[in-house]
Amino acid sequence: MIRLMHAKLHRAKITACNVDYMGSLTIDPLWMKEVGILPLEEVQVVNVTNANRFVTYAIPGTPGAGEIEPNGACAHLCSEGDIVIIYAMESVPRHQVVDGGHVARVLVFDGDGTTSLLRQTVNTDGSEFSFDSHDFAQEGLATV
């Protein structure tokens, strides 16, 4: 088994920090669905603003509200307005990646509030590998 990133929210902005909540990371469920993060799934968070890192689990917030809110102890590691990278990993049999490749979905947040959805792929023939990153819109693919 190897661990590969399968879902990522890149450069999202912290909208609130809730120290008195029992833990987790509240994420807009529309964004969770776009990249494939499930409720209660483990996520890793990298705070680009202050270099803090933590592991917690995702819970859905209000659809369309644009929430990214660390709760409980991890709220001490962020401030409202911080820029973060949130990603989820999955364990995959190595032979499955060698035989069939791997796809990850990445939602990229731009400074002006817009987003773009990327599809990142790894393919291999067993000895050589290729990596590619394409915008879903450029490929004419619909988002989930």
Tens digits of residue pLDDT in 100-138: 999 999 999 998 878 999 999 999 887 889 999 999 776
Catalytic residue (one of 24, 87, 116, 127) = 24
Catalytic residue (one of 57, 116, 130, 133) = 57
User: What pLDDT is stored for residue 142 in this prediction?
Assistant: 46
User: What pLDDT is stored for residue 138 in this prediction?
Assistant: 60
C-alpha to C-alpha distances, 97 to 41, 42, 90, nearest whole angstrom: 22, 22, 12
Pairing of strands 83-92, 42-47: antiparallel
Annotated catalytic residue 21 = no
User: What pLDDT is stored for residue 124 in this prediction?
Assistant: 87
56 marked ligand binding residue: yes
CB-based contact 33:105 (threshold 8 Å): no
Residue 51 pLDDT > 80, yes or no?
A: yes
Average pLDDT over residues 7-16: 98
Domains contained in the chain, CATH given: 9-90 (2.40.40.20), 91-139 (no CATH)
Q: Please state, rounded to an integer, the average pLDDT across all residues of the chain.
A: 93
